[in-house]
Amino acid sequence: MNLVERWFGHLDNKAIRRGVFLSVADLQTSIAAFLKSWNQNPQPFVWTATVQSIQEKLNRCRRTLERIQPGCTRPRSKKHKP
Protein backbone atom coordinates (compact mmCIF):
# COMPACT_ATOMS: atom_id res chain seq x y z
CA MET A 1 0.00 0.00 0.00
CA ASN A 2 2.82 2.44 0.78
CA LEU A 3 4.26 2.07 -2.72
CA VAL A 4 0.86 2.86 -4.25
CA GLU A 5 0.66 5.95 -2.07
CA ARG A 6 4.17 6.89 -3.16
CA TRP A 7 3.21 6.59 -6.83
CA PHE A 8 0.19 8.85 -6.33
CA GLY A 9 2.47 11.30 -4.51
CA HIS A 10 4.72 11.26 -7.57
CA LEU A 11 1.70 11.93 -9.80
CA ASP A 12 0.69 14.80 -7.54
CA ASN A 13 4.18 16.35 -7.54
CA LYS A 14 4.72 16.04 -11.27
CA ALA A 15 1.30 16.61 -12.80
CA ILE A 16 -1.08 18.26 -10.35
CA ARG A 17 0.64 20.39 -7.72
CA ARG A 18 1.02 24.05 -8.65
CA GLY A 19 -1.06 23.39 -11.75
CA VAL A 20 -3.90 25.63 -12.84
CA PHE A 21 -6.96 23.74 -13.98
CA LEU A 22 -9.98 25.66 -15.15
CA SER A 23 -12.08 22.53 -15.49
CA VAL A 24 -12.16 18.84 -14.67
CA ALA A 25 -11.27 18.18 -18.31
CA ASP A 26 -8.04 20.22 -17.87
CA LEU A 27 -7.12 18.13 -14.83
CA GLN A 28 -7.88 14.89 -16.67
CA THR A 29 -5.74 16.02 -19.62
CA SER A 30 -2.81 16.73 -17.29
CA ILE A 31 -3.13 13.33 -15.62
CA ALA A 32 -3.44 11.56 -18.98
CA ALA A 33 -0.29 13.30 -20.25
CA PHE A 34 1.59 12.22 -17.13
CA LEU A 35 0.41 8.62 -17.54
CA LYS A 36 1.43 8.57 -21.20
CA SER A 37 4.88 9.88 -20.31
CA TRP A 38 5.22 7.49 -17.35
CA ASN A 39 4.21 4.47 -19.42
CA GLN A 40 6.86 5.19 -22.05
CA ASN A 41 9.56 4.48 -19.47
CA PRO A 42 7.95 3.07 -16.33
CA GLN A 43 10.08 2.81 -13.20
CA PRO A 44 9.00 0.38 -10.48
CA PHE A 45 8.95 1.56 -6.89
CA VAL A 46 11.02 -0.84 -4.82
CA TRP A 47 10.82 -1.22 -1.04
CA THR A 48 14.38 -0.81 0.22
CA ALA A 49 13.98 -0.47 3.98
CA THR A 50 14.56 -3.53 6.13
CA VAL A 51 12.31 -4.49 9.01
CA GLN A 52 15.21 -3.92 11.39
CA SER A 53 15.87 -0.38 10.12
CA ILE A 54 12.17 0.50 10.47
CA GLN A 55 12.06 -0.86 14.02
CA GLU A 56 15.21 1.07 14.96
CA LYS A 57 13.65 4.26 13.60
CA LEU A 58 10.46 3.65 15.60
CA ASN A 59 12.48 3.04 18.76
CA ARG A 60 14.41 6.30 18.28
CA CYS A 61 11.11 8.11 17.78
CA ARG A 62 9.62 6.61 20.94
CA ARG A 63 12.70 7.55 22.98
CA THR A 64 12.48 11.12 21.70
CA LEU A 65 8.79 11.33 22.52
CA GLU A 66 9.39 9.93 25.99
CA ARG A 67 11.91 12.71 26.66
CA ILE A 68 9.39 15.31 25.55
CA GLN A 69 6.45 13.99 27.60
CA PRO A 70 6.96 10.82 29.65
CA GLY A 71 4.31 8.21 29.04
CA CYS A 72 3.02 9.66 25.81
CA THR A 73 3.91 6.53 23.81
CA ARG A 74 2.38 4.02 26.19
CA PRO A 75 -0.91 2.45 25.11
CA ARG A 76 -3.88 4.21 26.60
CA SER A 77 -5.87 2.22 29.09
CA LYS A 78 -9.55 1.85 28.40
CA LYS A 79 -11.73 3.63 30.90
CA HIS A 80 -14.50 1.46 32.24
CA LYS A 81 -17.90 2.98 32.78
CA PRO A 82 -19.26 2.44 36.32
pLDDT at 6: 85
pLDDT at 67: 78
pLDDT at 18: 85
Q: Would you list the domain boundaries of the chain?
A: 2-67
Query: Comparing 39 with 48, which gets the higher pLDDT?
Result: 39
SS3 for 56-78, per residue? HHHHHHHHHHHHHCCCCCCCCCC
The mean pLDDT value for 14-18 works out to 88
3-state helix, strand, coil in the chain (%, to 5): 60, 0, 40
Q: What percent of the chain has pLDDT over 70?
A: 82
pLDDT at residue 39 is higher than 70: yes
